[in-house]
A and B are shown apart, each in its own frame.
Chain A
Amino acid sequence: MITRRFALAAASLAAMVYAGAAAAQTPVTIGAIEILTGPNNKYGVAIKNGFDLALEEVNKAGGVLGAPLAIAYEDSAGNKDQALNAARQLIGGKKVPLILGPTLSNEMFAVGPIAVERKIPIVGTSTTANGITAIGPYVFRTSLPESDVVPVTLRTAKEKLGVKKVAVMYGNDDAFTKSGYDVMKAAIEKLGLETVTTETFGGKDTDFSAQLTKIKSLNPDAIVVSALVEAGAGILLAKKALGIPDSVRVIGGNGLNSPQVPLVAREAADGTLVGSPWFIDKPDAANQKFVADYKAKYNMDPDQFAAQAYDTLFIVAQAIKDAGAPNAEKIRDALGKVKHNGVMGPFSFTPDRDPADTSGVVVIEMKGGKFQILK
């Protein structure tokens, strides 16, 4: 426990240095639960980077309520029990008035009910599964759920590429890819597209030849895929090896929206189509500044997780200011009314605590190993 108290002290100290005049004040500390270690830590680290960058700006501008803002980080390591313990620590021990995170939808399903029970607002920045905000009236999310992004992607494919017949493939052993599939299925029906077959695979599978051979024989216009990077890259490779023509596009969910895909699938990844709530080359000034600052601070490109986290911290800081006190109930009420214009586009919450505006969604395609906006 000592190490953590020390970490908190260090975080507060850093916040005080930035806050200058407000340094004498005790900081307003909010909690964050992210995957900072373990195999999936790339998501959590990007999110933390996004938070920290925004935190710096908030505190430079005078902090909140006349005091600096600070974040007490807890590591979930991608394990839902550890996420649960972390939430209990933050709520019962540190008494934070708000929690950011956790990283995965699965973790949110475990942690959300605890926050609701204790009436502490909890804001997911990367939880895209269905039913997240239905956990209870204190659960918010700033990430566009797949149900807002996927229909845009499919509609664009239908309108711009003339896709009418699709084959569907999804990973059925993972909550993320399964709920992505549920969304795809609904969107396909709504757009009146024909589904020639629906095939499943396991997240750790490497062989997809049986499913793709079947799909090839049915001649679809496109293959709609809900997969994480590993399986997604494998599918793209097998598709090429089995000689399915390049004109048959792979349309992916958020799982394929990753720079890792072309690293493995190489030229087989070309033509992949995904929708994204954010895109690094978005031309507006706010986004250009964010990308430049992020590169300067961390010496790497930001991804969508960092962008979502960056916007979220401003939204939360605004809500704390509007609430007038670091009080959970007041912050929750204020959150519902926040309007913010960030790197993802205009933002506000729906009455159900989901993002209200989907105008920021862009459809991007892979070309020569890089995503670019679909013309």
Chain B
Amino acid sequence: MVKNLSMNITRRTLLAGAAGTAAMSVLPTWAVAGDLSVAAIYTLPVEQQWIGRIHKALNAATGISYEYSENVSNTDYERVMREYAEKGVKLIVGEAFSVETGARKVAADYPDVAMLLGSSFGPEAPNFSVFDNFIHEPSYLTGMIAGAETKSNLIGMVGGFAIPEVNRLMHAFMAGALSVNADVKFLVTFINSWYDPPKAKESAFAMIDKGADVMYAERFGVSDAAQERGIKAIGNVIDTASDYPGTILASAIWHMEPTVNAAIAAVKGGTFTAEDYGIYSYMQHGGGSVIFDETLVPAEMVAQVTAKEAAIKDGSFVVEIDNEEPVSS
């Protein structure tokens, strides 16, 4: 209802302080000559894992001027897109998951503005490109580690929403675990929120009570439960190992840099077309990686995972993509 407020805080408005919102419309654009002006529109704060990765990549990108609006509600999304497009931004990065129809309509109205949006569907000519966090490959590898680690043969998985981008990571993780341990069973729940750590934590507690001894931490809150109960967890998208010492065995990390850099290069070179940038999140392109805590993961497991990683990178092993909703086994 009213909980998802739209507050468009750009860096500029922050600097301008309380007067920022009013100043937004009158301040000149900061774009330096020669720099490509890029705007990002996020439906959640930049602390959120998925969005945080895009934000990080855009902050790191060179040769662009970057501004962003966070916490934009879905109902407001089209308006903010149009505002940036009218303002002369050359590349808009964002997420179309809940506003597929609207975002595509706006893109069609501004064919000269390159759009690179997270989406569950395909690209749309001439300017609507899509991307997503295709880190099913590192997820498979972390699954191998989890499958080898579990003693109770029960792994708990708490997800946000059962949408393709979450489902396929869970399926890849499960496949990885089963590849090293055929007896492993999974508990799966979704909390239907991206951002309710206390609820995610309660779901994790419920699984641990049932005997799960490794948790797949798709959401904030799960690793907290694992740490409190002294069991292990697997991280996802971002590296949180330092927050939970001794708890995170391994994490599947998403790197948005290859996607962003490819799109920026295409816009600069005048070759940007509607494409699926999902491939840039694959390990081969450096879009995904696996990291592990070598003090917790046995050396022979590290070797096994590294070998599999090499096989994924040279194409001799392909991790299957399954977008169906996973269920408890």
Does A associate with B in a complex? Answer: no
Which B residues contact A (CB, under 8 angstroms)?
none
Which A residues contact B (CB, under 8 angstroms)?
none
